[in-house]
Amino acid sequence: MFQLQERVAVVTGAGSGIGRAIALLFARQGAQVAVLDVNEPEAQRCAAEIKAAGGQALPVILDVADAESVDRAFEQVAQHLQRVDVLVNSAGIAHVGNLGNTSEADFDRLYRVNVKGTFLCSRAALERMLPNGSGVILNLASIASLIGIEDRFAYSMTKGAVLSMTRSVALDYMGKIRCNCLCPARVHTPFVDQFVAKNYPGREAEMMAKLSAYQPIGRMGTPEEVAAFALYLCSDEASFVTGGAFPIDGGVLVK
C-alpha cells in the first residue's frame, strides 16, 4: 500500500522541515522526486540524501512567488523527468502579528509566498497533468485556516486562501485532478527552533513548553507525521478523496 512507483512528485519547500520529510518519504515509496527550494544548498542536501538511500531526486531552485522562476523550474522537471504526477505545495513562510501591527510590507510578503506561490506552482503543475488525464495536488494549509489563532492575522489570511483554492481546484477539475489540503497545528521543525531562539533568548525552554501545550495531546507534531498523511492523500489509496481539508492537530479542534 501507499506506493508511488513510476510517479514523478514535485515538492516545494523540500529543502527543510515538512517539505523535506515529504520528499524523503515519497522517494522511499518509489517516486522520482523533484526537490524544489529557494535555498540551493538545502535542496542539494535533500536530493543527495535521497540518492544515497537509493532513490531518485532532482534538485531544482525556484522562488515560488516569481512566475518566471516557477516556469523555469517546472520546465526543468519536465525535461529531466518527463512528467508531473504529484505536486505538494509545502513552501511557505510565517508571521506573528495582529491587524494593528502587521505592516503592508509583511502582508504583501506573506501573500506573495503563501498564496501567489501556491497559485503559480499549481497552475504550472496543472498544465503538465491535464495532458495525462490525471494528477494530485496537495496543499499545506494550517489549522489557522479553520479556526482563529491569536497574533496570526496575515498568516491566517494566506492559509484561508490556500484552503479556498484547494476546494476550487478540486471542483473545477473533478474526475481529472484530485486536490486536498493538510491543516497542521504546530509542527516541530528547525524553523520553530530558530524562531524561538531569535525572539525569546533565554526563554527557549519556556516557549517550547508553551508551544507544545497548545495541542491537547501535549506536544507538537513532527514533520514525519505530516509526511505520512501526505503520502496517503497522494497515493492511489486516496483515489476517492478530493476537496478535503484534513486537520493533523493533536486534538486542537476538539478542545
Q: Which residues have a catalytic role annotated?
A: 155
User: Shortest CA distance to 137 belongs to which of 90, 184, 98?
Assistant: 90
**Going by C-beta distance under 8 Å and a sequence separation of 6 or more, which residues neighbour residue 30?**
3, 4, 5, 6, 7
Are the CB atoms for 183 and 143 separated by under 8 Å? yes
Cα–Cα distance measured from residue 109 to residue 38, given in angstroms and rounded to the nearest whole number: 15
Cα–Cα distance measured from residue 120 to residue 197, given in angstroms and rounded to the nearest whole number: 33
In angstroms, the Cα distances linking 194 to 29, 149, 162, 208 are 31, 21, 25, 11
Indicate the helix (H) or strand (E) that contains 181.
strand 177-184
Which is it for the CA torsion 12, 17, 18, 21, positive or negative? positive
Bridge partners of 250, per DSSP, are none
User: Shortest CA distance to 38 belongs to which of 90, 106, 100?
Assistant: 90
For residue 235, how many C-alpha atoms fall within 13 Å in the half-sphere facing its CB? 18
Are the CB atoms for 53 and 30 separated by under 8 Å? no
Bridge partners of 140, per DSSP, are 182
